Structure formats: C-alpha cells, structure tokens
Structure 1
Amino acid sequence: MSSSLLAKPQMRGLLGKRLRFHIAGAVLVSVGGALLYKFCVAEPRKRAYAEFYKNYDAMKDFEAMREAGVFESVQPKNS
C-alpha cells in the first residue's frame, strides 16, 4: 500500500530538462560577468588612458628620463 503513495521518478528527458536549466544559468552568469568586467574594469581603464594621454608630452618625459640616467645609449645634457 505504501508503494502507491510514492510518485514515480522521472526517467525520460531528465538530462535534457536539467541541461536546459544549467545552460540557461551558465549563459546568464557569463553574460553578467562580461558586462561586469566591461563596465567595472574596461571602461574605467579606457577613461584613465584617455585622460593620461590628453596632456602627455613624450619629449618632456624623455628628457626627464635622460637626465635621470635611465638610458645607457643617451648621455645627459651638460648644461
């Protein structure tokens, strides 16, 4: 009598049902991670580079490094 009280386990289509659920979850998590990376890492990094190069003077930086003796092939100016 107790066996009639238990529901039969689902045997057919169980893997497909579970895969649909897990694939949908994986897609949502991956898209969420990509958006989080884009807006929290990539965009601020682009803005920081743009701000840095807006006022960057390569010759001024080169002269400062030359005076500091960073380069072996370029001698400091004797002024």
Structure 2
Amino acid sequence: MAPGALAKPQRRGLLARRLRIHIGGALIGGETLGVATLYKFGVAEPRKKAYADFYRNCDSMNDFEEMKKAGIFQSAK
C-alpha cells in the first residue's frame, strides 16, 4: 500500500455488525422505557394521589390550634 493511500472500506459483514449495535441499543432503550413507565404508574402516580388526598382533607388551622394547646409553640398563646 502506498503511503498516502486510503484503506479499503469494509464490505463483508457490515450489515451484521451494524445490526448488532442497533439491536443492543434498542433493547437497552426499551428496558429503560419500561422501567420509567413502571416507576411512573407504580410510584409517582400513587404518591401524587396521596398528596392530593391529604391536602384536600387538611385543615391547617385546626392542626395549629391542636399544637398550640399541646404547648409546642413558645411564642403563640
């Protein structure tokens, strides 16, 4: 080969090599989306519902009055 000549391009097995790379990436990407979906519907949505239920039924003034009667606050009488 001459000093300035380019190397020949790969012709055999090019499709198989590219498919191995892309199939591996697709499997990893698919697993990631599955885990994200499971987290969203298994953890995040129930947590948001629990917070919404808590704040829908929350009476902060009643809680404050109970804590004041219990003597938790030193400045409130």
TM-score (norm 1): 0.67
> Equivalent of 1:24, from 23, 26, 32?
26
Corresponding residue of 2:55: 53
Dislocated runs of 4+, deviation >3 Å: 10-13
Q: Report how many residues are paired.
A: 65
C-alpha distance in structure 2 between counterparts of 1:70 and 1:29, whole Å = 50
TM-score (norm 2): 0.68
Give unmatched runs, 5+ long, in structure 2: 1-11
Give unmatched runs, 5+ long, in structure 1: 1-9
